[in-house]
Amino acid sequence: SPPVQPHSRERKLGRKEGGIEEDMAAQLPCDGDGKCMKCGKKPLDEEKLLCKTCVTPWHVECLLTRPESMDSVPQWECPDCSDLAGGESAAPVVSGAAGGLIAAIRAIEADSTLSEQEKARRRQQLMSGGSAVSGGGDGAEQRDEKAKDDNEILAILGENMKCSFCMQLPDRPVTTPCGHNFCLKCFEKWVGQGKKTCAKCRELIPSKMASQPRINSSLVFAIRMARTSKTTSVEAPRVIHYVHNEDLPDAAFTTDRAVRAGKANAKSGKIFVTIAHDHLGPITPEYDPVRKMGVLVGDCWEDRLACRQWGAHFPHVSG
């Protein structure tokens, strides 16, 4: 019997999906070094197009569809974002959250009351899973403080630790086999849109990792250690007052800081002999540079501090 031919609608759908996959494979953006990942050339700024949604540079010559006029360049969307925005091919792989994300980004771009810096901040906040609505002054200060802390930690670890989507310190980082890091939420959004390649270098992501991403515990530990070392308060070096032996008075003395009267908190005076602290044996004249006599049998002094000055007895608790 002749083989069963597929339904005409199925044939059309298969050709359409195959064409879309070929188009997506044929269109690649510029990498982090500014080189086109399709032709390998490094185009000039005039030969690049920036997507208004994801702000990714694309080489104009390697695009299958280009802006119709110069007026439409600021509103141009890259193939990745335009596929997310609508079309029959995007419907099966785009979830409601992804469609809402694109709609929220377009609403931010259409808001003429926002500055470019504020638009960029809100786009990044959306990509990292936050809300587009700006909070009060306290919330803005907290976000700025967190961004400052993250930048300081990135300065310690290196810029290559950034999430390739939100360009922030990765939250629950996932590292692809090609060595690029992503937040777990950003990675799951990317894979949930049907993308099976790395967003940074377009290397193929293994299917097991795409379905069951694992958090990089080593990177989590490194971020935690960098955060701990940064937040640990650095105390000023303790000032220790020290007086050299030759500058000490000949007798024990006290200062204004003494808590008790008398010699209870007194400091020993000048040490007249040159013996070591662990010296054991007679103190001969060679250890007495002033009198040239040393310590003789029968010598005695008033108290322990005077004994200490002549090396006859170093008390356990010295003054």
- For residue 64, pLDDT over 90 is answered with no
**Is 116 inside any structural domain?**
no
pLDDT bin (cut points 50, 70, 90) of residue 284 is very high
Same structural domain, 174 and 194: yes
- For residue 147, pLDDT over 50 is answered with yes
**Is 290 inside any structural domain?**
yes
Return the percentage of the chain with pLDDT > 90, whole number: 2
Q: Tokens 């060595």 belong to which residue?
A: 179
Q: Are 51 and 72 within 8 A, CB to CB?
A: no
Q: What are the tens digits of pLDDT across the range 223-260?
A: 777 777 655 555 567 777 788 888 888 888 888 888 88
- The alpha carbon torsion through 276, 277, 281, 283 (nearest 10 deg) reads 60
Same structural domain, 222 and 271: no
CATH number at residue 67: 3.30.40.10
Same structural domain, 287 and 310: yes
Q: Give one word for 212, left, alpha or beta, with left for phi > 0 and alpha for psi -120 to 50.
A: beta
Task: Please give the mean pLDDT across all residues of the chain.
Answer: 75
**Is 118 inside any structural domain?**
no
pLDDT bin (cut points 50, 70, 90) of residue 287 is very high
Q: How many domains are there within the chain?
A: 3
**Is 271 inside any structural domain?**
yes
Give the pLDDT of residue 243.
82
Same structural domain, 197 and 277: no
**Is 215 inside any structural domain?**
yes
Q: What are the tens digits of pLDDT across the range 95-104?
A: 455 556 777 7
Q: With 0-12 CB in 10 A as exposed, 13-18 as middle and 19+ as buried, what is 196?
A: exposed
**Is 128 inside any structural domain?**
no
**What is the rounded average pLDDT of the residues 70-88?**
69
* Domain with 218 in it: 152-232
**Is 294 inside any structural domain?**
yes
Same structural domain, 210 and 270: no
Q: What are the tens digits of pLDDT across the range 161-213?
A: 778 788 777 888 888 888 888 888 888 888 888 888 888 888 888 888 888 88
Q: What backbone torsions phi and psi does residue 181 show, to the nearest 5 degrees?
A: -105, 145
Tokens encoding 280: 């054991």
Q: How many residues does the chain have?
A: 319
Give the pLDDT of residue 286.
93
**Is 266 inside any structural domain?**
yes
Same structural domain, 208 and 180: yes
Q: Which of 177, 201, 232 is the last residue of a domain?
A: 232
Cα distance between residue 290 and residue 310, in whole Å: 12
